[in-house]
A = this chain, B = another copy of it.
């Protein structure tokens, strides 16, 4: 646990603010490109933000990856989802066969899919294409006690950082994150309630598509989980341990490592139809690029967002300036 803490501290220390010099140069270049100033709207802002994250005035997003982490949730014993828990395992095998939505969208954008088993019930075969970072065969039922130990929470984060550090060696310019885990909107809603301070009923959604009675039950289970565990909003590791999930912790670690390595990934690609997402984005001060009523997970929204991110930097890099193209500027 001491080693894990040390690893995380070192990564967090490396996270720096956006590079203002690169951003200023990107702004200046945007204003010389052959278009009315500002006419590329949110795509201009996005390219400038990516310049700031990467510390490159004219970034290139060649190596793209979607990191999809899977794990099971003990709270599914309380009947919070439409689908049986074995779907987590079955869907991981579907990812591997290339038949899931995230596979299709990753092919569209030329991204590789990194599939990580963070703790799928029943285990998964040791085969190429699945990276095993298994913490346990699913979390414990958070409605009766903590989902995991504090040590396991730390291990999730470290696993996420290890995956990203490994992928950087293979080339990584932008990272999309996604999850697979039956029951994980129950855990995500619990975390959202704790972190934003909003009422559970205000931020809990229908997940895979439950009806009104099932939603009321899901809300009660989340409220019970918070009452039983009393997670401390000021201690993120406590929140993750008590009401989180292995894949959620793994993705948090991956985001820290991406940030430490100037790799864009905390861009809000879309606003999910899942109710709590708007509260999360508001809390983080992020504006979503897309609003397509998606609520699938896996990283599907991220894949679409990566297309926009790559579009924005390709526009910045590949468009001619007024003087290069011999186009008259404002009269």
A residues adjacent to B (C-beta < 8 A): 33-43, 82-84, 86-87, 90-91, 93-94, 97, 99-101, 103-105, 107-108, 207-209, 273, 289-296, 300, 304, 307-308, 310-311, 314-315, 318-320, 324-331
Copies in the assembly, this chain: 2
List of B residues within 8 angstroms of A42 by Cβ: 292-294
Interchain CB contact under 8 A, B209 and A36: yes
Selected A-B contacts with CB under 8 Å, 30 pairs: A34-B94, A34-B101, A35-B100, A35-B101, A36-B209, A38-B295, A39-B296, A41-B292, A41-B295, A43-B294, A83-B328, A83-B329, A83-B330, A84-B331, A87-B328, A93-B326, A94-B320, A97-B320, A99-B318, A99-B324, A100-B320, A104-B314, A104-B315, A104-B319, A105-B311, A107-B318, A108-B311, A290-B290, A291-B291, A292-B308
Determine which of B33, B83, B328 lies in contact with A84 in the assembled complex, contact meaning CB atoms within 8 Å. Answer: B328
- What is the chain B residue whose CB lies nearest that of A295? B39
| A123 CB to nearest chain B CB (Å) | 17
In the docked arrangement, what's the CA distance between A327 and B92, Å?
10
List of B residues within 8 angstroms of A295 by Cβ: 36, 38-39, 41
In the docked arrangement, what's the CA distance between A314 and B99, Å?
11
Interchain CB contact under 8 A, A325 and B34: no
| A329 CB to nearest chain B CB (Å) | 8
Interchain CB contact under 8 A, B290 and A35: no
In the docked arrangement, what's the CA distance between A295 and B39, Å?
5
Interchain CB contact under 8 A, A40 and B82: no
Interchain CB contact under 8 A, B294 and A41: yes
Interchain CB contact under 8 A, A318 and B39: no
List of B residues within 8 angstroms of A207 by Cβ: 36
Interchain CB contact under 8 A, A91 and B40: no
Determine which of B36, B43, B90, B311 lies in contact with A82 in the assembled complex, contact meaning CB atoms within 8 Å. Answer: B36
Determine which of B108, B308, B319 lies in contact with A101 in the assembled complex, contact meaning CB atoms within 8 Å. Answer: B319
- What is the chain B residue whose CB lies nearest that of A273? B41
| A115 CB to nearest chain B CB (Å) | 14
In the docked arrangement, what's the CA distance between A82 and B289, Å?
29
- What is the chain B residue whose CB lies nearest that of A297? B39
In the docked arrangement, what's the CA distance between A194 and B94, Å?
53
Known contacts A108-B310, A108-B311, A319-B104: A325-B40 contact under CB 8 Å: no
List of B residues within 8 angstroms of A329 by Cβ: 83
List of B residues within 8 angstroms of A36 by Cβ: 82-83, 207-209, 295-296
Determine which of B105, B293, B308 lies in contact with A315 in the assembled complex, contact meaning CB atoms within 8 Å. Answer: B105
